[in-house]
Structure 1
Amino acid sequence: MVAPEPVLPQRSSAEVNELIRTLMQHTSGILTSQKRHEYELLVVEWAQAVRRETPRQGNS
């Protein structure tokens, strides 16, 4: 069974991407388990933002 995606704040994909970049820069790409968890949540949020911002095709 797949767990549902968590509901996260609705920031834009660009905002979340910037947070991911900042996190990676501040950690030099080496993540502690706590920072890895933060990174994983940001990636999920970024993917949700991309889906939200991408126009749906069909029904035309």
Structure 2
Amino acid sequence: MSPESEARGSVRSAAEVNEQIRALWLRAGGSLSPEERAEYELLVVEWAAAVRGEVVEAA
């Protein structure tokens, strides 16, 4: 793992994390259980970190 990805907090791209978020919603049928909600929240934080990292890399 590169230091840049460690600083971003994510080793996956925003697109990869977004796909996992979409898959979670599909599996859940649009209504998240408490466990799924916790997973969703972690994924959103990871996605946001990946987006920030991609914006910094692009700049």
Question: TM-score, structure 2 length as denominator?
Answer: 0.77
Q: State the Cα deviation string for residues 3-31 of structure 1 (Å, max 9, x = none).
A: xxxx8441100000000000000101110
Q: What letter matches 2:43 in structure 1?
A: L
Q: Secondary structure at the match of 2:15?
A: helix
Q: Secondary structure at the match of 2:29?
A: coil
Work out whether 1:15 is the aligned partner of 2:31.
Answer: no
Identity, % of aligned pairs?
Answer: 53
Rounded Cα–Cα distance in structure 1 between residues aligned with 2:43 and 2:22 = 10
RMSD over equivalenced CA pairs, Å: 1.8
Could you tell me which runs of 5 or more consecutive residues in structure 1 were left unpaired when the two chains were aligned.
1-6
Q: 1:50 to 1:9 in 2, by over 3 A?
A: closer
> Greater Rg, structure 1 or structure 2?
1
Aligned residues: 51
Q: What letter matches 2:21 in structure 1?
A: I
Q: Secondary structure at the match of 2:31?
A: coil
Q: What letter matches 1:21 in structure 2?
A: R
Greater helix content: 2
Could you tell me which runs of 5 or more consecutive residues in structure 2 were left unpaired when the two chains were aligned.
1-7
